[in-house]
Structure 1
Amino acid sequence: RQAVAILRQLHEITGRYSLVFAGANPERPMSENTINKALRLAGYEGRQTGHGFRHLLSTELNGRGYNKDWIERQLAHGDSDEIRGTYNHAAYVEQRREMMQAWADSIDAVCAGANVVAIKRKA
């Protein structure tokens, strides 16, 4: 639900383009470097990258006990059976939808102050 709401808001800004996250050339996608630069400017240099969010998600969902096949599919990792992987883009779609909704709900809960644990940085 949260992702759909965000995409609807973005549509007001980017709706005239074919891509939601267009680059400087609106016919091409935004570069991963754009995300990494934003993270650097926000003070996360050396601690987080755009691609690192995929590692974070995988680690957290595996830690919560979700089926590893659902997680791999959600991360768009291929099927070891290349033919099956080519034709089955909807693998585990209902389970993945529920898993990602639970993830979004947990992010909302943290943002609202639930289960927040302070992490002390090393000096």
Structure 2
Amino acid sequence: MVLLFPRPGELRLTMWEHFDLEKKIWIKPPEITKTKKIHKVPLSEQAVKLIYRLKQIQRESDYLFPGRNSRMQPLSDGTFNKALKSLGYDNKQHPHGFRHLASTALNEAFSSKSQVIEKALSHVKQGTKAVYDKAEHFEERSDLMQWWADYVYSLS
């Protein structure tokens, strides 16, 4: 969650088929996104390695995070909260909070790239901007995601 700062529900519903690891892209289909639009997320080197590792250790399932009782179902809704609680972060950090952390750090580091950051967060443009500006900023988002992963790893 930290590396990709997705909406928790989007991550929970993600399937292996949503990844193109050769191209380093997570392709979120409309049915799992809040915006109901496809959203392509560039993956950092670190994220790709973690996803490959998860695939190696996980039991067979269509889901990146399968349910505990059925590998054919996604993880249940409250599991990410329970995981944070078990790590001692109850009432200190929530799954959606990783988006806040990423947004704040990225805006501090790249104050002139707010459009790119908003696109990385999969936020919807408002007003006239939404009508005319269809830019994806994919290359810039790729650089941004790699910077973020490097930053997160530098903290450990």
Q: TM-score, normalised by structure 1?
A: 0.74
The match for 1:5 is: 49
Q: Kindly state the Cα deviation for residue 36 of structure 1 after the two structures are TM-superposed.
A: 0.7
The match for 1:118 is: none
Mapped to 2, the partners of 1:47 and 1:16 lie a distance apart of 33
Mapped to 2, the partners of 1:38 and 1:82 lie a distance apart of 40
The match for 1:120 is: none
Is 2:153 aligned against 1:78? Answer: no
Is 2:123 aligned against 1:58? Answer: no
Summarize the Cα distance change of 1:96–1:38 in structure 2 as closer, same or farther, 3 Å threshold: same
Summarize the Cα distance change of 1:4–1:72 in structure 2 as closer, same or farther, 3 Å threshold: same
Q: Which moved further from structure 2: 20-29 or 97-106? A: 20-29
User: How many residues of Structure 1 are paired with residues of Structure 2 in the alignment?
Assistant: 107
**Residue of 63, 67, 70 corresponding to 1:19:** 63
Summarize the Cα distance change of 1:82–1:13 in structure 2 as closer, same or farther, 3 Å threshold: farther
Structure 1, residues 10-43: CA drift from partner, whole Å, max 9, x if none?
1113473222122233333323411111111111
Q: Which moved further from structure 2: 100-109 or 19-28? A: 19-28
Q: Kindly state the Cα deviation for residue 96 of structure 1 after the two structures are TM-superposed.
A: 0.7
1:32-51 map, 5 Å: 32-51=77-96
Mapped to 1, the partners of 2:52 and 2:66 lie a distance apart of 16
Structure 1: unaligned runs, 5 residues or longer: 112-123
Structure 2: unaligned runs, 5 residues or longer: 1-44
Q: TM-score, normalised by structure 2?
A: 0.60
- Give the RMSD, CA atoms, in angstroms: 2.3
The match for 2:143 is: 98
Higher helix share: 1
Summarize the Cα distance change of 1:7–1:82 in structure 2 as closer, same or farther, 3 Å threshold: farther
Summarize the Cα distance change of 1:98–1:43 in structure 2 as closer, same or farther, 3 Å threshold: same
User: Would you identify which runs of 4 or more consecutive aligned residues in structure 1 move more than 4 Å?
Assistant: 82-85
Q: Kindly state the Cα deviation for residue 70 of structure 1 after the two structures are TM-superposed.
A: 1.4
Asked whether the 8 Å contact 2:84–2:90 carries over to 1, the reply is yes
The structure whose Rg is larger is: 1
